[in-house]
Amino acid sequence: MPQRTSMIKPGRARVEMPAGTQAIQRASLLVRLIASRGRSGLRLAELVEHSGFTRPTVRRMLKCLVVEGMVMQEEASHRYFLGPLIFELGLAAAPQFNLRDICHPSVQRIADRTGDTVFLSVRSGYDSVCIDRAEGSFPIKALTLDVGTRRPLGVGAGGMALLMPLPEAAVADIVERNAPRFAAYKGLTAPALLRLLKRSRESGYALNDHHMTDGAVSMGMPIVNPFGDPFASISVGAIASRMSAERRPEVAAALRTEVRQLARRLSETATP
């Protein structure tokens, strides 16, 4: 039986993995950290801080990742970004891992169960992007998002749900970066968003009842992998009269059932 070793991802639980895989895990974490910053990239010092690895270890692994084309470094800023090989691998993986296709049945089931409009959103750098939508049977729709709509991460129930599982350092960075953009959403401020995030974490679902569309309320939950990182989020939008405090547990139950099933399926799909 192969020996196993433990690996702790910063801010996550200990995960037992086969011996000899530590370098792969570390390299994978560095790639994910770089990916999480999108077009902003990360400096060496930031990767050391966020990964918890020593500076020599991070530098050595980055050199290897650059040679392999998985990471590239911009000469002027010295920041690291995802490399061309990641793009090529993504194209190759797309037929087997089409997030929208995998999630759509769940999105549609929630729409059928609630009668309201349901949205699937993903993170794109410091934004959230709606990639799918299904409409329920209720005649008055809350069409607050079109497919392709991009908003600052944290705005709206879907964007807030994507923030819920993130560690505090990542949340602080996102909120600081997006703060100047919040005012366009009915005067939303960074402190107000952080209060909404605290409420969302305590209740187990994101609730947007003020800062987006007049007369509309939305609820959302993240879809997470075994480490607690969000794959995507699903949110339900309805006119305010249909999202009363008495009805919210019903909508939350519909969301919870589907996001848990999707979390399991997506984790299995992403595992070689």
**pLDDT tens, 224-267?**
987 788 889 999 999 888 888 999 999 999 999 999 999 988 77
Poorest-pLDDT segment among 2-16, 20-34, 54-68, 159-173: 2-16
- Token pair recorded at residue 230: 């969000």
Nearest to 234 by CA among 213, 262, 193: 262
Q: For domain 4-87, say whether CATH 1.10.10.10 is its number.
A: yes
Q: How confident is the model at residue 14 (pLDDT cuts 50, 70, 90)?
A: very low
Residue 141 confidence (pLDDT):
73
Local structure of 132: helix, strand or coil: strand
Instruction: Give me the phi and psi of 184, to 5 degrees please.
Output: -70, -10
Poorest-pLDDT segment among 34-48, 129-143, 258-272: 258-272
Residue 164 confidence (pLDDT):
96
The domain ranges of the chain are: 4-87, 96-270
Per the prediction, the chain carries an average pLDDT of: 84
- Tens digit of each residue's pLDDT (9 = 90 or more) over 86-131: 877 766 666 555 888 899 999 999 999 999 999 999 888 788 989 8
Residue 138 confidence (pLDDT):
85
Poorest-pLDDT segment among 78-82, 114-118, 137-141, 241-245: 137-141
96-270 fold: Beta-Lactamase (3.30.450)
Q: Can you name the residues that pair with 236 across neighbouring β-strands? A: 118, 219
What is the rounded distance in angstroms from the CA atom of residue 232 to the CA atom of residue 223? Answer: 5
What b/e sequence results for 38-72 when a residue is b if at least 16 CB atoms lie within 10 Å of its CB, and e otherwise? eeebbeeebbbbbbebeeeebeebbeebeeeebbb
Residue 96 confidence (pLDDT):
52
Q: How confident is the model at residue 269 (pLDDT cuts 50, 70, 90)?
A: low
Residue 86 confidence (pLDDT):
81
Q: How confident is the model at residue 272 (pLDDT cuts 50, 70, 90)?
A: very low
